[in-house]
Amino acid sequence: MHTDTEQRRRERVQVLADELYRDRRHYLLRIANRNAVNREDAEDSLNAAFVSFLEKFDPDCEAPLLAWITTAAKRFCWAADRSERQGCGLLGQVAPLHRRRPGRAGRVQVGRPAGAWRR
């Protein structure tokens, strides 16, 4: 069970998220569209940014709300693009194993699941 302080923090963050969504959603979606491959990824990334905001934002810190959520939305857009290029969608669905990638002599490379490129 959450403490009273945690509950109050969650309520404050919820109010802030509601205000941001109501007042700035279209602005944030335009930014996400400029940073995403397509509109669907932009909308998914913006929704993920709001979920992250609800879970992680500290209303007592000095971080500007709009800058915080804008940065989060951009990072989710970039992550979706990276995942797409590595053969996985934002939610980690694996793409076909063989596909052509532009580059040196159009070599065929084998795709890997998300995270497989990291050590």
Answer with the residue of higher pLDDT: 83 or 12: 12
pTM for the model stands at: 0.68
One domain, residues 29 and 70: yes
Please indicate, yes or no, whether residues 33 and 55 belong to a single structural domain of this protein.
yes
Mean pLDDT across the stretch 40-57? 95
Burial of 30 (0-12, 13-18, 19+ CB in 10 A): exposed
Residue 105, domain extent: 92-119
Of 3-7, 74-78, 95-99, give the range with the top mean pLDDT: 74-78
Query: Both 111 and 54 in a single domain?
Result: no
Same domain, 80 and 105: no
Is the same domain home to 76 and 113?
no
Q: Alpha carbon 10 to chain centroid distance?
A: 21
Question: 97 and 71 in one domain?
Answer: no
Tell me the β-bridge partners of 110.
98
pLDDT band at 98 (very low <50, low <70, confident <90, very high): very low
- Residue 60 and residue 30 share a domain: yes
Rounded Cα–Cα distance for residues 114 and 87 (Å): 7
Average pLDDT value for residue range 68-87: 87
Which tops the pLDDT comparison, 18 or 81?
A: 18
Answer for the pair 57, 16: CB distance below 8 angstroms, yes or no. yes
Q: How many structural domains are present in the chain? A: 2
Same domain for 31 and 59, yes or no, is yes
Examine the domain organization and report whether 51 and 78 are in the same domain.
Answer: yes
Q: Are residues 8 and 60 in the same domain?
A: yes
Q: Is 71 found in the same domain as 38?
A: yes
